[in-house]
Amino acid sequence: MEQYKSGFVAIIGRPNVGKSTLMNHILKQKVAIMSEKPHTTRNRITGVYTTDTLQAIFLDTPGIHKPSNKLAEYMVATALNTLEGVDLIVYVVDCTMTFGAGEAFIVQQLKKAKTPTLLVINKTDLLDKQALLPLMEKLRHKMDFVSIIPLSAKNGENVPSLLHEIEIRLPEGPQYYPNDMVTDQPERLIVAEMIREKVLSLTKEEVPHSVAVQTELIQERSETLLYVAATIYVERHSQKGIIIGKHGDMLKEIGKLARTDIEILLGSKVYLDLWVKVKEQWRRHEMEIKNFGFTRD
């Protein structure tokens, strides 16, 4: 009888290399929010992938970068702390980007961790196929990777090969979560992140990085309707005006798009009530960061 495999898999990489897109594709469900803007993921997000022979618990982490404020320090610490205590690391790089000082720093941390590491070369749909083998050969010498898998998280090309490698590398173990569970994140956190994702997609310049969202209430109003109240926080009054928009149009659009995802998540019709408030320079104050639920764990 085939032995059951299970374990914890950290997904590590620079900002905007496709870590969340990869996890969402594997899970076939949106658990981590996605955006073309860097530093989208702020917390460590857990995704659970279960088959008849395997349960891989993925830990999607913030992009590792040079921090410019207290929030960024927490994000990088969260990512680096995830390297400890996992069974396997999936290190994701963007094949269209140059391997620079940021990648060299990550490799240095991976060598210190001494955890088996799979190198994923992502976004191969954007790469000339003739350039792939030389790139793989170049990256192969950066450290002793247990395997190198080129893939496209966007369209799913070669993702089954990654899952096969993960199953081979994970130890025998128990099933930690029920078959139908894809994340252990609280519903309130996922709802807040879905709202923030829409802010990221609809606003630009300094606004996206200054936004935090808190879900205040999820309440059943009838058998077919849930009331969801959430507050969008920004750092300046000018940003509040941008989020609300002329005649409230921007806030209405954020709510409309977010409600669609939230209804899929909660399996019910949703009345979404959004508010916008200002917390000046919250990213620079450790107490405010902790109040929003960010930790170094």
Report the pLDDT value the prediction gives residue 255, as an integer from 0 to 100. 96
- Specify the CATH number for 187-291; select among 2.60.40.10, 3.30.1360.230, 3.30.300.20, 3.40.720.10: 3.30.300.20
Q: Summarize the chain as % helix, strand, coil (round to 5).
A: 40, 25, 35
Beta strand 225-234 with 212-222: parallel, antiparallel or unpaired?
antiparallel
8 A C-beta contact, residue 230 and residue 213 = yes
- pLDDT of res. 62: 77
Q: Which two tokens stand for residue 16?
A: 């905007």
**What is the band of 2 on the pLDDT scale with cuts at 50, 70, 90?**
low
Fold of the 5-169 domain: Rossmann fold (3.40.50)
At 198-211, the pLDDT tens digits run 998 898 766 767 88
Rounded percentage of the chain residues whose pLDDT exceeds 90: 55
Confidence of residue 99 (pLDDT cuts 50, 70, 90): confident
* Of 55, 80, 21, 45, nearest in space to 166 by CA: 55
Cα 176 to Cα 5, 10, 24, 93, 126: the distances in Å are 11, 16, 20, 29, 37
What pLDDT, on a 0 to 100 scale, did the predictor assign at position 295? 57
42 — pLDDT class (breaks 50, 70, 90): low
- Going by C-alpha positions, the residue among 296, 215, 283, 228 that lies closest to residue 43 is 296
Cα dihedral sign, 105-109-112-116: negative
- Average pLDDT on 144-172 reads 95
* Confidence at 183, pLDDT banded by 50, 70, 90: confident
What's the whole-number mean pLDDT along residues 164-169?
96
**Ranges of CATH 3.30.300.20 domains, the chain:** 187-291
pLDDT digits (tens, 9 = 90+) for 233-249: 999 999 999 999 999 99
Write out the residue limits of the CATH 3.40.50.300 domain(s) in the chain: 5-169
Report the pLDDT value the prediction gives residue 51, as an integer from 0 to 100.
95
Q: In the prediction, which pLDDT does 80 show?
A: 79
**Residue 29: predicted pLDDT:** 81
Measured distance CA(229)–CA(275) in Å, rounded: 8
Please enumerate in sequence order all residues whose Cβ is within 8 A of that of 89, keeping only pairs 6 or more positions apart, or say none.
9, 10, 12, 83, 110, 113, 115, 116, 117, 118
Joined tokens for residue 175: 């099933």
